[in-house]
């Protein structure tokens, strides 16, 4: 069975993946920024002790025991945050399973950041899974909790349920038709956060956007999930409508995606930025049934193994800038010809 990020799920033509996250802190310990190294170590030791009790074949790994390429590959899979890997002398660890659909960051901004993942739109199932794991941990460890405010967190935006639900969506047709900014503005007006997947200041987002809830206090976990699902469904509908509109001029669309596919297939070198945009067009062509030479599984592999960290993991060695561009074109050919 392949890992979740190499699978397709519900509404995978638009929704790339879903994530649900819970932030928790341990009672009796200072917030991370005020914790000494010794206290941080004690937090890790307490959690490490209970890992076998959580189930799901989870394993505990100190962050310092991972090499830089492995850390980058985990960031690229969105399993850990870029901030988490920055060396700020904090004692950090992850708890993760083999399928990598569960990943707990320890001592990021808070003591515990519990995350569960799935391909496609699976927020309801993820909510059930994360609540099950959270309750198992909560039965053993004493969380910081206020009867008035709910779970206590470092950031005020995480106080309350501590839950953030999000979906990554692929919106190339809304971009082409010029309707993207209008749709994203509507999402923001519904109290949701929407941002480019690769962060502010990055021009090439590969038409990928992250939609998540802003509010964690004064709402229940079920309400958070329902609200994000509702917005995701509206965005899916708008993107599919835009794709139908593009399909009316089918010759132009076919010409565009097949030209792009030709570059993907025959290029001798390719930069990361160029690859993101090309894969966006090619995925659209595959989803609409125009490009028949590829399937969803190969698209997933291309999206993963052309990213710098996972590209280096694929070849099992460190690759410098220009060599990376050559090897990226090489791995693309290998996946296409599988």
| Same domain? 268 vs 235 | no
Instruction: Inform me whether the pLDDT recorded for 202 exceeds 60.
Output: no
pLDDT in tens, 206-215: 899 999 998 8
| Same domain? 270 vs 328 | yes
| Same domain? 137 vs 263 | no
CA–CA dist 153, 132 (Å, integer): 20
Q: Are 260 and 302 in contact (CB under 8 A)?
A: no
Low-confidence winner among 28-37, 138-147, 245-254, 317-326 (lowest mean pLDDT): 28-37
Domain edge (last residue) among 223, 242, 261: 242
Instruction: Inform me whether the pLDDT recorded for 243 exceeds 70.
Output: yes
Domain edge (last residue) among 180, 208, 242: 242
CA–CA dist 150, 183 (Å, integer): 33
| Same domain? 98 vs 147 | yes
CA–CA dist 271, 156 (Å, integer): 39
Q: Higher-confidence residue: 44 or 148?
A: 44
How distant is the alpha carbon of residue 190 from its chain centre? 22
| Same domain? 192 vs 289 | no
| Same domain? 105 vs 13 | yes
Q: How confident is the model at residue 156 (pLDDT cuts 50, 70, 90)?
A: confident
| Same domain? 145 vs 279 | no
**CA distance to 81, 82, 126, per residue, from 74 (Å):** 8, 9, 20
What are the start-end ranges of the E strands in 205-284? 208-213
Instruction: Inform me whether the pLDDT recorded for 155 exceeds 60.
Output: yes
| Same domain? 159 vs 233 | yes
Mean pLDDT along residues 101-126: 96
Structural tokens at position 302:
């291309």
Instruction: Inform me whether the pLDDT recorded for 303 exceeds 80.
Output: yes
Q: Are 151 and 159 in contact (CB under 8 A)?
A: yes
pLDDT-above-90 percentage for the chain: 74
Instruction: Inform me whether the pLDDT recorded for 88 exceeds 90.
Output: no
> What is the structure's pLDDT at 84?
93
Say how many C-beta atoms besides its own lie within 10 A of residue 320's C-beta. Answer: 7
| Same domain? 206 vs 323 | no
| Same domain? 85 vs 172 | yes
pLDDT in tens, 70-85: 999 999 999 999 999 9
Phi, psi of 337 (to 5 degrees): -90, 5
Q: Of how many residues is the chain composed?
A: 338
| Same domain? 48 vs 130 | yes
Instruction: Inform me whether the pLDDT recorded for 235 exceeds 60.
Output: yes
Mean pLDDT along residues 61-71: 94
**Residue among 1, 17, 322, 333 nearest 165 (CA):** 17
Rg (CA), the chain: 21
Instruction: Inform me whether the pLDDT recorded for 160 exceeds 80.
Output: yes
**What is the CB-side half-sphere exposure of residue 33 using CA atoms within 13 A?**
4
Phi, psi of 17 (to 5 degrees): -160, 165
> What is the structure's pLDDT at 90?
79
pLDDT-above-70 percentage for the chain: 97
pLDDT in tens, 120-142: 999 999 999 999 999 999 999 98
Instruction: Inform me whether the pLDDT recorded for 262 exceeds 80.
Output: yes
The CATH number of whichever domain residue 183 belongs to comes to 3.30.590.10
Q: Higher-confidence residue: 269 or 198?
A: 269
Domain edge (last residue) among 207, 242, 277: 242
**CA distance to 216, 274, 317, per residue, from 224 (Å):** 8, 36, 42
| Same domain? 225 vs 259 | no
> What is the structure's pLDDT at 200?
57
Q: How many domains does the chain have?
A: 2
Mean pLDDT along residues 256-275: 95
Q: Higher-confidence residue: 194 or 328?
A: 328
> What is the structure's pLDDT at 214?
87
pLDDT in tens, 45-59: 999 999 999 999 999
Domain limits at 305? 250-336
pLDDT in tens, 174-194: 999 999 988 888 888 777 888
């Amino acid at each position: 069975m392949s890992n979740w990020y190499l699978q397709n799920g519900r509404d995978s033509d638009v929704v790339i993946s879903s994530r649900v996250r819970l932030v928790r802190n341990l009672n009796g310990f200072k917030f991370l920024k005020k914790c000494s190294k010794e206290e941080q170590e004690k937090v890790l030791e307490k959690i490490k002790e209970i890992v076998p009790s959580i189930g799901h074949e989870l394993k505990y790994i100190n962050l310092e025991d991972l090499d830089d390429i492995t850390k980058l590959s985990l960031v690229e899979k969105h399993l850990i945050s870029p901030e988490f890997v920055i060396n700020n002398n904090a004692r950090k660890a992850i708890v993760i399973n083999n399928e990598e659909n569960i990943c707990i960051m320890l001592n990021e901004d808070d003591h515990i950041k519990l995350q569960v993942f799935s391909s496609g739109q699976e927020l309801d199932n993820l909510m059930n899974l994360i609540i099950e794991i959270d309750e198992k941990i909560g039965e053993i460890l004493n969380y910081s909790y206020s009867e008035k405010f709910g779970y206590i967190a470092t950031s005020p935006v995480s106080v309350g349920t501590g839950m953030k639900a999000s979906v990554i969506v692929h919106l190339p047709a809304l971009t082409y038709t010029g309707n993207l900014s209008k749709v994203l503005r509507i999402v923001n007006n519904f109290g949701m956060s929407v941002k480019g997947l690769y962060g502010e200041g990055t021009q090439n987002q590969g038409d990928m956007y992250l939609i998540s809830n802003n509010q964690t206090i004064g709402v229940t976990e079920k309400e958070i999930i329902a609200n994000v699902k509702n917005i995701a469904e509206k965005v899916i509908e708008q993107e599919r409508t835009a794709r139908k509109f593009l399909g009316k001029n089918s010759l132009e669309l076919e010409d565009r995606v097949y030209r792009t596919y030709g570059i993907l297939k025959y290029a001798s070198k390719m930069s990361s930025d160029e690859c993101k945009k090309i894969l966006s067009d090619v995925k659209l062509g595959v989803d609409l049934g125009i490009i028949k030479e590829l399937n969803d599984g190969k698209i997933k592999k291309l999206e993963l193994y052309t990213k710098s960290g996972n590209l280096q993991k694929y070849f099992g060695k460190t690759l410098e800038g220009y060599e990376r561009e050559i090897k990226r074109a090489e791995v693309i050919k290998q996946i296409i010809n599988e």
